[in-house]
A and B are shown apart, each in its own frame.
Chain A
């Protein structure tokens, strides 16, 4: 069974703090990893992709990948109220031509 696990939250952080979102996946052969943001009633919006171990930074967002631990995370620095959304982890698992999504972590940034 191919699984992507996320803590559903809710996660609350004060404005300006760092939000840390975590994701684990079951398929050791997975090769590509994505973070999407989904506002209520809207579609997933791509934030970050990461393909190799280590950190990848894009503005206030940093994705971290550890394939040995089958773990991917997203850090949001200087969190803003507009970052309040559900964050979805998506993984391409080697055996299939599809993404597997986690259930998402709900983030609330408190002004």
Chain B
């Protein structure tokens, strides 16, 4: 069964460093998403991406964040200058169609900022 994959599973970085989190969505899906989940808190939407552009972003997704689909398979989230409060699980999700349809989540990347 196709699944969303994410790398790395765990990333440790120092405050102020740039990190890139990688995702490979399910191959025939058209919509891609990033969410984050701070430990013990709810899953929060960051950004949605369709047709090579951002379709929506939340207040969390400020200028420190960017997304890119550099080729036909990868979908990346870049955090330009990490802060302690960026420590969280980051989940990539994909959907075969639009926002009204199921989203399938990858296993997540645990980001620890020290």
Partner of A98, one of B58, B102, B105: B58
B51 on the A face (CB < 8 A): no
Contacts of B35 in A (CB 8 A): 99
From A32, A45, A104, B105 is in contact (CB under 8 Å) with A45
Which of B11-19, B39-47, B63-71, B74-82 contacts the other chain? B39-47
Take A31-B100, A92-B99 as given contacts and tell me if A100 and B107 are in contact as well, using a CB distance cutoff of 8 Å: no
The answer to whether the Cβ of B48 comes within 8 Å of any Cβ in the partner chain is yes
Counting CB contacts under 8 A, is A110 at the interface? no
CB distance from A111 to the nearest CB of B (A): 26
B interface, by DSSP: helix, strand, loop or mixed? loop
* Cβ–Cβ contact A98 & B42, under 8 A: no
Closest B-chain residue to A48, C-beta based? Answer: B102
Are A99 and B45 neighbours in the complex by a CB distance under 8 Å?
yes
Known: A43-B91, A44-B91, A92-B99. A98 touches B45 (CB 8 A): yes
Q: How far is the CA of A106 from the CA of B39 in the complex (A)?
A: 15
CB pair A103–B41 under 8 Å, yes or no, is yes
* B45:A43 contact, CB within 8 angstroms: no
- Contact of B48 with A98 in the complex, beta carbons under 8 Å: yes
A51 to B105, CA, bound (A): 20
**When each residue 88-111 of chain B gets 1 if its CB lies under 8 Å from chain A and 0 otherwise, what string results?**
010100000011111111111000
Contacts of B73 in A (CB 8 A): none
- Asked whether any CB of chain B lies closer than 8 Å to the CB of A60, the reply is no
* B47 closest partner in A (C-beta): A98
Q: A-side interface residues toward B, CB under 8 Å? A: 31-32, 34, 36, 42-46, 49, 51, 88, 90, 92, 96-104
A-B contact pairs, 28 of them (CB 8 A): A31-B100, A32-B99, A34-B103, A42-B107, A42-B108, A43-B105, A43-B106, A46-B102, A46-B103, A46-B104, A46-B105, A49-B101, A49-B102, A51-B100, A90-B43, A90-B103, A92-B100, A96-B99, A97-B48, A97-B56, A98-B48, A98-B56, A99-B33, A99-B103, A101-B42, A101-B44, A102-B42, A103-B42
